[in-house]
Amino acid sequence: MMLSFVMVSSIMMAGNNEPAPKKILPYPIQQGQLPNGLKVVTVPYDSPGLAAFYIVMRVGSRDEIDNGRTGFAHFFEHMMFRGTEKYPKEAYSDALKSTGASANANTSLDRTVYHMTGNAGMLDKMFELESDRFMNLKYSVQDFKTEAGAVKGEYTKNSASPYEQLDEKMNEIAFEKHTYKHTTMGFFKDVVDMPNQYDFSLEFFNKFYRPEYATILVVGDVTQEKVMALATKYFGAWQHGNYVNTIPVEPTQTETKYTHVKMANFPPVVSLNYKSPAYDPTKIDMHALDLLNTVLFSEKSDLYKKLVIEEQKVRGINGGATNSRDPYLSQIYASLVDAKDMQYVKDEIVKAIEKMKTTAVDQTTLDQAKMRMRYSFAMGMDSPTSIAEALAGYIWVTGDPESINKAYEMYDKVTPKDLMDVAKKYYVSTGLTIATISDAENCPVK
Does the pLDDT value for residue 362 go beyond 80? yes
Going from the C-alpha of 403 to that of each of 315, 380, 390, the distances in angstroms are 35, 18, 11
Pairing verdict, β 257-262 and 432-438? parallel
Residue 193 lies in a domain: yes
189 and 285 assigned to the same domain: no
Start-to-end Cα distance in the chain: 70
pLDDT in tens, 256-275: 999 999 999 999 999 999 99
Going from the C-alpha of 76 to that of each of 57, 142, 144, 151, the distances in angstroms are 11, 15, 10, 10
The pLDDT value given to residue 102: 86
Does the pLDDT value for residue 10 go beyond 70? no
Owning domain of residue 305: 257-438
134 and 99 assigned to the same domain: yes
Specify which residues 214 forms β-bridges with. 57
- What is the Cβ-side half-sphere exposure of residue 411, based on CA atoms within 13 angstroms? 23
338 and 414 assigned to the same domain: yes
pLDDT in tens, 313-324: 999 999 999 999
184 and 261 assigned to the same domain: no
Residue 250 lies in a domain: no
Boundary of a domain, candidates 235, 265, 284:
235
> How many domains in the chain?
2
Q: Against a cut of 0.95, is the pTM above it?
A: no
The pLDDT value given to residue 4: 41
CATH number of the domain where residue 126 is located: 3.30.830.10
Does the pLDDT value for residue 2 go beyond 70? no
141 and 229 assigned to the same domain: yes
pLDDT in tens, 14-54: 344 444 557 999 999 999 999 999 999 999 999 999 999 99
95 and 193 assigned to the same domain: yes
68 and 162 assigned to the same domain: yes
- What is the Cβ-side half-sphere exposure of residue 188, based on CA atoms within 13 angstroms? 12
226 and 271 assigned to the same domain: no
The pLDDT value given to residue 22: 77
Least confident of 6-10, 138-142, 179-183, 196-200: 6-10
